[in-house]
Structure 1
Amino acid sequence: MARIRGQAFLATGQAEICAVVSQHLETARVCAAELDCSLYGDDIRYLAAGRPDAVLIETPHKAQDEIAVWALEEDLDLLIGGSLACSLASGTQIAELAAQRGRIVEAGYQRRYDLAWEEIRRLVHSGVLGAPIMAVSMALWSPDPERWYYDQAASGGMPITHMSYCYLNAIRWIMGVPETVTAMANRKVETGPGRVLEETCAACIGFENGAFVSATASYAGPEGMDDAETRFVCSEGGIQVHTDSITVFQQGTAEMRSFKNTCSPFIRQAQAFLQALERREPANNPPEDALLDLQIGAAISLSARENRTVFLREGDRYDR
């Protein structure tokens, strides 16, 4: 992802990569070469040596939090490639530090820059499909158990690390203000100490308008099995999301709309981030909004652990 996002910045024609840092020096060297960058290293101080205006972070979440705090204390703006942080407490620290320092911070939810998802949002918000009723999404994967994704401490847990691939951020951007979270989870494959607590998880998130989203994510995805496609159901129609297109159902018809040759959401997000730096105004995923995704992730874990519905506005303790 560091390469993809780095290339997206280069594709804007408005940015250059001035330093690359990785825990592994060879990884940094190869990535720097691909991004036309001569300065690389295995120590975060190499970033400062490149005299950057901003930092892109694509690392395991625990390391991400440490780098984010360092960058903000160095008065650097940030694009964080995934969720804002690995926990609600860390995310709150980052949001508060960004506000104190007057820094731009953007979380990495690129679907808010995807033209197909912008069209979905327009259709739902315009009311042409009636009132939103529900959305359904799925994210199956089978990661290497020895990598950080399966490590509870390094990842912050599967609801934060992997359930984002159920597009929870983009779906709430479309459906409205979330109010309740009810979840179930289990561990059936990797059950050893230190592994993620929720290997497979299903969550139902209710919105203030009465709509809800049902999302299921798992690290136990069978090889070759595809995810079920994301769907939105409204009172007078609906939308089914495909890889490069959407199908809009309305008045007994089904219309496919293709977005195959449109600009990459990674490039559009890079452009928006650069514009935010220039204008000193937030882009689509500022910290105060991205904190809600961490709150939802923590509420999913709490709901699954205590077998109850969590009310997002009633002061539940999420990080216990």
Structure 2
Amino acid sequence: MGGYTDTRTRGQAFVDTGRAEICALASRRLESARACAAELHCDACFDDYRRLVESQPDALLIEVPHRAQDEIALWALEAGFDVLIGGCLSSSVENGEKIAAAATGGGRLVETGYQRRYDPAWEEIRRLIQNKTLGEPVMAVTMALWNADPHSWYYDQQESGGMPLVHLSYCYLNAVRWILGTPVSVAAVANRKAEISRGRVDEESCAVLVGFENGAFASATASYLGPEGMVDSRPRFVCTNGGILVDLTQPTITISRGDGLEERSWEMGPSPFVRQAERFLSALETRAPALNPPGDALMDLRIAAAVSASIREKRTVDLDGLARREVR
């Protein structure tokens, strides 16, 4: 259920596994559901997501703006469905905790949409870093410039939950923390220069420093402003005895060591979307969580909340302290 393009991409990924078929689609605009359904060879279309139960699905894929996503995810879990959410877990920490609790309480599986954890290049980076093949991890550096449509829900603070949650976590902080380990602190600065009207995202562009338990840090910049020709700089990981440079256009990494450079590439097999769909389908059978379960995905929400708090209060935010305040 959800937006045309994203639903089509992830829906097709399920079809491409050869293990699933799309049995029904729902969209607020019925014509969008019908157009997407035609491409996914699906006959049942609804303009009310609650009617999806009529097709007796085994699980649901949710691809909608985050505030609507919260409502739909909670309904799906209460109705007894396992769920793949195409982006972050929720629009807020509070709602994310409700979704996580509903999944645990009902014995349901929830997987969030961070497909880079299924990319063979990022899997290899994680192996190299965690095995300390290149020495101790020192830092990761990323930049993600994206020319977001100001008329879309991405620019709506309430609908999206904010740019750090929507864009920064996806490009590429979720994958970076999967590699570097447990984050403990956040410091950030931000501005809003292009879309300044009421209701637009609070942080249009931001730079974030995330400290990790092992002493490494990540420097991540993200923006909804992406000037023509200014592609993202390649993510890089620096270690005491070398480093890794990531190619964003293909599954290729360049490894730097004292004795030179080594390039590693992976043949163009199944896309990360297909690999994630495969893992989710297997999880439905084994009842074992995939790589993006709710307990882990809550950290992306906490980091986004810490980014906003750091900007608002002009201080470094301790993530443990933030979590303790949430409990109180």
- Band of TM-score, shorter chain: over 0.9
Distance 1:100 1:177 in 2: 26
In the alignment, structure 1 residue 215 sits paired with structure 2 residue 220: yes
Q: Give 1:127 deviation, angstroms.
A: 1.3
Structure 2 match to 1:255: 262
Unaligned runs of 5+ in 1: none
Q: C-alpha offsets along residues 99-131 of structure 1, whole Å, 9 cap, x if unaligned?
A: 111100001111111100000011111111000
Gap change, CA 1:42 and 1:152, over 3 Å in 2:
same
Correspondence for 1:202 among 199, 207, 210: 207
**Structure 1 range deviating more: 308-317 or 244-253:** 308-317
Are the counterparts in 2 of residues 57 and 80 from structure 1 also a CA contact under 8 Å?
yes
Structure 2 match to 1:291: 298
- Note the 1:266-277 alignment, pairs <5 A: 266-277=273-284
- Note the 1:1-320 alignment, pairs <5 A: 1-242=6-247, 243-244=249-250, 245-315=252-322, 317=325
Are the counterparts in 2 of residues 295 and 318 from structure 1 also a CA contact under 8 Å?
no
Q: Give 1:24 deviation, angstroms.
A: 1.1
Are the counterparts in 1 of residues 138 and 238 from structure 2 also a CA contact under 8 Å?
yes
For the residue of structure 1 that corresponds to 2:187, the secondary structure is strand
Structure 1 match to 2:3: none
TM-score, normalized by length of structure 1? Answer: 0.97
Q: Give 1:46 deviation, angstroms.
A: 2.7
TM-score, normalized by length of structure 2? Answer: 0.95
Unaligned runs of 5+ in 2: 1-5
Distance 1:71 1:136 in 2: 37
Distance 1:150 1:315 in 2: 26
Q: Give 1:166 deviation, angstroms.
A: 2.5
Letter in 2 for 1:314: G
Are the counterparts in 1 of residues 306 and 322 from structure 2 also a CA contact under 8 Å?
no
Q: Give 1:314 deviation, angstroms.
A: 1.5
**Structure 1 range deviating more: 252-261 or 10-19:** 252-261
Distance 2:81 2:170 in 1: 28
Are the counterparts in 2 of residues 21 and 42 from structure 1 also a CA contact under 8 Å?
yes
Are the counterparts in 1 of residues 148 and 224 from structure 2 also a CA contact under 8 Å?
yes
User: What is the aligned-residue RMSD (CA, Å)?
Assistant: 1.3
Aligned residues: 319
Letter in 1 for 2:239: C
Distance 1:211 1:252 in 2: 24
Letter in 1 for 2:279: A
Distance 1:290 1:176 in 2: 13
Are the counterparts in 2 of residues 104 and 282 from structure 1 also a CA contact under 8 Å?
yes
Distance 2:170 2:284 in 1: 27
Between the two proteins, what is the percent identity of the paired residues?
A: 60
Are the counterparts in 2 of residues 166 and 216 from structure 1 also a CA contact under 8 Å?
no
